[in-house]
Amino acid sequence: MTERTLVQKLASTPDGPVRVAGWVETVRDQKKVQFIVLRDETGAVQLVHPRTDVGENPVDDPIAAQISALTHGTFLSVEGELKADERVKLGGLEVKIGSVDVAGVAFPEPPIADDSSIDKRLDWRFLDLRRPEQNLIARVQTTFEHALRTWWIDNDFIEIHTPKLMASASESRAELFEVGYFETKAYLAQSPQFFKQMAQPAGFGKVFEIAPAFRADPSFTSRHATEFISVDSEFSWIDSHDDVMKVHEQLLIAGLTAVKEKHGEAITAAFGVEFEVPTAPFPRIPLAEVRRIVAEGGYEIPRADGDLDPEAERRISEWVKANHGSDFVFVTDYDSSIRPFYHQRHEGDGSITKSYDLIYNGAEISTGAQREHRVDVLIEQAKEKGLDPEELEFYLDFFRHGVPPHGGFGMGLARVIMLLLGLPSIREVIYLFRGPNRLEP
């Protein structure tokens, strides 16, 4: 059998014998000629078959019968003759069919259409993923992740794989999924926070991980999921959270540069988005100043703790874009009352932490901070948060045997991709979405 040629390779393939394989996107079954638009994982190509079963002296035409019976979505392999033809709108070439081998027949009536609701499309996600836009989303994510890993490795970071089954909470017990674990119980990890910090007294220094995380958060917003991919990094010997921000912005610049170079034109064509690669440094604005800016803009943050809500994030992002020309902004120096116990606080002002949120195109994508590495201070801050230090013994032990000053961040992968492509929901960019009312497919 002739070796299969991917559609994207056809433009550089000389005219002549070729084999393509994929699924049927459309069939035009005309009286004298038949056309198939065949799509594979790299693109679409037009296939043509001049019929011989018509006219004054019709000849038996089994290929015509095969084509007439094809249903949308059927997978098939076609051998034929490739020919460049500028008249063909789809890529300027076509394949004249020599033989058709049907591999997998699809039902005649697809269960979803282009205008189906997002929930209906998620019910049939394997069909929804056939859309070219979904293929591009997956490729953008692949390029982005590869660029992040490349930057980390080029800068001497170590990749770690932390467990997702935990004996105790890493952050808020209220957002934990509890699971049976033999004769006891375990919790699904909300983040790799404790474990990536463990790498610091272990002497690993700079580490990173891209892996699942779980939050039992009953939110139905466009940017929440109960299972998501968290992009995490942690590193030693920092002087402040500004060192963490410097690493974070350089990492993002590397990722977005790779996406722009490889997919920029395709993103514009598919989503109408022309994004710019940011330059460092990203604007940095203390939370207290952000509150003042959005208040002067006529918006009062409704949250009792003073944390930014989605509308405040959108407004400060608009202000930064107008005044600094940046799609990114670090909101820094969060109140200790709204930060975890392990965030280090400012010397001389324990009400403010050395932490930040990173906002991109109007939505928060990441939280980072310098961590508190003094065990006595950690214990007191945990008590302030109502936590029992005895339940944190395995974590506190890290700091009883020597640990350097360190910090890091966690970033939601799906949010970055959603905001990069200008899409309305992370449901569009997660391969198989999990939310409060979705565990299938």
Mark the binding-site residues for ATP, compressed into ranges.
364, 412-415
Number of Cβ within a 10 Å radius of residue 435 = 19
Binding site listing for L-aspartate: 171, 215, 367, 371
How far is residue 293's CA from residue 312's CA, in Å, rounded to a whole number? 10
Helix axis angle for 413-421 and 241-271, nearest 10°, is 50
Point out the annotated binding site: 171, 215, 364, 367, 371, 412-415
Nearest to 367 by CA among 214, 245, 238: 245
Whole-number Å distance between alpha carbons of 57 and 51: 12
- State how far the Cα of 117 lies from the Cα of 121, in Å rounded to an integer: 6
Sign of the torsion angle spanned by Cα atoms 27, 28, 29, 34? negative
Distance CA 4, CA 126 (A): 23
Among the listed residues 143, 134, 214, the one whose alpha carbon sits nearest the alpha carbon of residue 172: 214
Burial class (CB in 10 A: 0-12, 13-18, 19+), 245: buried
Buried b or exposed e, range 90-100, using 16+ CB within 10 angstroms: ebebbbebeeb
